[in-house]
Amino acid sequence: METLAMHISNGIIDGPVAAVFAALALAALTVCVLRGRRDLDDRLAPMAGLVAAFIFAVQMLNFPIFTAGVSGHLLGGALAAMLVGPWVGALCVAVVLVVQALIFGDGGVAMLGLNITNMALLGTAVAYVLIAVLLRVLPRTRAGLAVTAFVAAMISVVVASQGFVLEYWLGGTTDLGNNLGGLAGTMAGVHLLIGIGEGLITATTVLTVAKVRPDLVYALRSLPTPVAPAVPVAGGAR
Amino acid sequence: MKNRSWAFLAGGLLVALLLAGVVSNYASSHPDGLDSSLLKGCTVDADDNIVGGSCPAQQARDHELADSPLADYGVRGVQNSFVSTGLSGVLGVLVTFAIGAGGFWLLRRRDTTPTDGSTPIDGTTPAEGDAATSTDERRHADANG
């Protein structure tokens, strides 16, 4: 069977740059642990474990995109941000990436900081900012929720792909001969298509959870709504 | 946790196990967006092996743990590829859930009463003495004091 590698492999980015991003990712994940603890209660903790397990499962499902011979798969940042919030969400994706690197030989162990930076940190952060803005602007309907999930997921995937381009600019092991723009364009184009798949999966999953257990959708629970009376919040906005 | 939360958790895990254990066998085996972008400049055969040209993917080196019994989403020693992929997916879901749920359970805050399913998680829980003081409230107390 074809080897199933989905993340940055060893040798693609040089060691020093990978080490810098490992330190960066570790620092950012520490912040996520500290901030995420405020969100993690007896109810959210097992749900966050489920979100991580679900993202692991769906990442295995490479889907074909319109470009022949290329597949895409869920990254999961937007889904995690929607369901468990940005801090715990980033930790969920990071758990998946660590399990994949240490047990499934997917994504070099030395490259873990780069992969975490792109997918767990950048992807989740961009998605959550978009979710916060879109939920405020769009009508509080199922359609509004679906559009929010779709758009946040799609754009977060494209931004995550550009995170790799930045890393390649800093420490790529092949001299592209001033053609970094070519790599950026290729990555953006293919990930825009993958982003459509990511958006559909994210919107479907979020709508399903919102229908069964709306109280388990973090974004619906914690973001201020324009229609509902303001909830007295101790200590200001998160 | 209430019964319906357990039911949701069990249902969600079952879906994840089915996706990773069965549906994963129908996944596309073509290189993903990252790999295909790194293959640009090279020519590949029908199995996506590099046969010529030059591209970033040629710099890829072996994984540190390429000998892991579950490397490349298969179980070493299992000949049937359907079973091998499915079993590795099931194990992956269980391990990820165990590490995730276990880790988050250890990290969870224990200083507030668990909120009821229908109430917002923020602020509305009345404080119950010292044990219920949230980080935010503590910070305010510090600022006031």
Position B66 in a domain: no
> With 0-12 CB in 10 A as exposed, 13-18 as middle and 19+ as buried, what is A114?
buried
Q: What percent of chain A has pLDDT over 70?
A: 92
Complete DSSP assignment for A155-193:
HHHHHHHHHHHHHHHHHBSS--SS-HHHHHHHHHHHHHH
Position B65 in a domain: no
Q: Over 90: is that where the pLDDT of A7 sits? A: yes
Q: List chain B residues with CB under 8 Å of A171.
A: none
Position B41 in a domain: no
Q: Over 50: is that where the pLDDT of A232 sits? A: no
Position B107 in a domain: yes
**Structural domains of chain A in order of their starting residue, each with its CATH number:** 15-222 (1.10.1760.20)
Contact B100 A73 (CB under 8 A): no
Asked casually if ipTM beats, i.e. exceeds, 0.95, the reply is: no
Q: What's the rounded mean pLDDT across residues B1-21? A: 92
What is the per-residue pLDDT for A225? Answer: 56
Nearest CB among B13, B61, B123 relative to A10 is that of: B61
Q: How far is CA B19 from CA A57, A111, A183, B13, in A?
A: 6, 27, 32, 10
Nearest CB among B40, B89, B101 relative to A57 is that of: B89
Q: What's the rounded mean pLDDT across residues B26-49? A: 90
Q: How many domains does chain B have?
A: 1
What is the per-residue pLDDT for B48? Answer: 81
Contact B94 A53 (CB under 8 A): yes
By residue range, what is the domain housing residue B91?
1-29+82-116+126-145
Position B112 in a domain: yes
Position B4 in a domain: yes
Position B133 in a domain: yes
pLDDT grade for A168, boundaries at 50, 70 and 90: very high
What is the per-residue pLDDT for A5? Answer: 74
Q: Over 70: is that where the pLDDT of A181 sits? A: yes
- Number of residues that this document lists for chain A: 238
Residue B11 — φ and ψ, nearest 5°? -65, -45
Q: What's the rounded mean pLDDT across residues A175-193? A: 92
Q: List chain B residues with CB under 8 Å of A221.
A: 120-121
**pLDDT tens for residues B50-85?**
998 889 999 999 999 999 999 999 999 999 999 999
Position B9 in a domain: yes
What is the per-residue pLDDT for A228? Answer: 43
Q: Over 60: is that where the pLDDT of B125 sits? A: no
Contact A105 B63 (CB under 8 A): yes
